[in-house]
Amino acid sequence: MDAVDDALARIADGSYSAGLSESLVLEFKTDGRSVKDDLANIAEAVACLANAAGGTVVVGVDDKRTGAEAFVGTKLDPEKTRLRIYEITQPPLLVETEVRAALHGGVLVLTVPNSTQVHSANGKIPTERVADRCLPMTTERIAAVTAQKTGRDWSIHSSGVPVSEVDAVAMQVAREMLVRSNDPSKRRVAEASDIDLLRAVGVVLEDQTLTNAGALLFTRAYERTVLISYTHRRTPAGQLTANEQLTGPLVVALQRVFDLIDARLETTPVSIGKGQQLHIADLPEPAVREAVVNGLMHREYFSMERTAVEHTVTQLRVSSPGGFVPGVNVDNVLTTSSRTRNTNLAGAMRMLGLAETAGSGVDRMYAEMARVGHEPPRYAADSTRVEVTLLGGAPNTTLARYVATLPPEEAADADTMVILLTLLTRKTVAAEDLTPLLQKPAIDEAQSVLARLSGDEIRLLEPTRETARRAYPKYRLREDALAALGPAVAYRRRTTDQLDRKIIELVHETGTINARMVRILLDLDTISASRVLADLVERKILVKTSEATRGPSVTYGRGTGFPSKTRNRRSADKPVPENSRNQDQLPLDDLDN
């Protein structure tokens, strides 16, 4: 059953009306006053769909009714309809027509291609499909859509601006970007003359003029055009604390946005052992930069509408003009091959170190967010805009500490980090679960990632015993990973009372304990075990009983707050008088109260 048949079935069983079933690619129509008017109306709907992603027009279904009475049928002839649409659309548009059986008579289904041209009907202004509506296209939008459909690259064409008009500040910023590169050849470019630097970046044409990308990046040709707006609020609905409208040159505007964001990022220090410490921002800086750069590198420049950066303490949203390029959508943005409408601009920005190599920018955003416990980037898009939102907050320090122990290539791998993040809240995952999450086109691709992470080299996952022989087993974290992640794993987390009870019961039996016993008993790492013991000492439940102050020889015994062991309350013959209890000594049973 295709999408149209599925929609018709839902209308027939009363689940939805045709109006609620309309979408970016589906429109419903009914016969009106005359065949002439009906054909004109349908031609406009067909042109609208063709100017966007193509789609289907169904004639003969009332968009306000459900069930059998919604299927009112049509008198239109399929072949005559097809011919008339061709005659009254400019340029002429060919569609496929067929009659499909419905509850009461047939409906006419018109299949509309995603055309390589922009079409109008009846001599009217062209429209394009946005969500479930047809909206008029401006001259700029027509140019942008035409360029997108024909593969025209705005950024590579001559701007007419001579090389001599490059801005001195922009060139200095560019040199500083190149100097920070790990690539020696790029650092050498930073020392070259202006013209040689521009040639190395790829923005100089044979007539010594700059490409549109070059003029955008390095000159004041766009100093009267707001390229980026930056706003900051302490909370999403709070008052503005910063509001800057930034014009060209783009490299200068970008550096200014980075500075504005960096100044407002809050960091958390995380010790990773051996005297090393990480300072982790509530919004990971690499993810933030990728979001901003991608919003400028892949956006539509036929329209000079600004790229908007909205920043709060725990959130960053970047919204840019122009939809995704053909073949890319919110469901495959992580895995689809890198595509851009601005190849010259993208190449220049990558040369300057502003963007990752082709195809790795989105991956990096996913990995950087997941490795500190934040959910992956959220994308929203239509034909006119793309929006990405990063939701941050205080980092998961235990997870970040563990990720720092992984091989660098795994810590930077989006698949690994998303799987690890998922297994903090789910005991098991299977390839079927991960296929949409990792945006893999096939279940076997997700399975290959799980198999790799369960191999002897990485040893992060293991198949469950019950499913190990299946083609697609369920996988869980290995025991050593669980121990290292400790409280970061939701389903392994214990309450303070539960931890106290286990340790107190052990001390009742053995008299003394040490950190190693606590690690084995509670399945904790060294740092977590030390924290548990320090907390018990502070609350006087335990006290150090050895002369040693550090290391494995430190032992602990009963403190003044250590609870006494009482009989089971059900078997107690009489209540214990209130004044007979030491206020610092609570019975073991009272730990749950």
Assign 503 to helix, strand or coil.
helix
Run of H or E residues at 381:
strand 378-381
Report pLDDT digits (tens) over 96-136: 999 987 765 689 999 999 998 999 999 999 999 988 889 99
Report pLDDT digits (tens) over 432-468: 999 999 999 899 999 999 999 999 888 999 999 899 9
What average pLDDT does the structure give for the chain? 88
pLDDT at res. 3: 83
The residue to which tokens 């968009």 are assigned: 63
pLDDT at res. 244: 97
62: left (phi over 0), alpha (psi -120 to 50) or beta: beta
pLDDT at res. 592: 39
pLDDT at res. 360: 64
pLDDT at res. 148: 76
pLDDT at res. 586: 43
pLDDT at res. 1: 55
Q: What residues contact 299, with CB distance under 8 A and at least 6 apart?
A: 307, 320, 321, 322, 342, 386
Run of H or E residues at 308:
strand 307-312
Q: Which residues of the chain have pLDDT under 50?
A: 359, 567-593
Residues 366, 411 contacting (CB under 8 angstroms):
no
Distance CA 68, CA 70 (A): 5
pLDDT at res. 553: 84
The contacts found for 272-281 with CB under 8 angstroms, 24 or more apart, are: 272/401, 272/404, 272/405, 273/401, 273/527, 278/400, 278/404, 280/372, 280/395, 280/397, 280/400, 281/392, 281/395
pLDDT at res. 495: 61
What is the number of residues in the chain? 593
Output the pTM of the full model. 0.69
Distance CA 112, CA 355 (A): 37
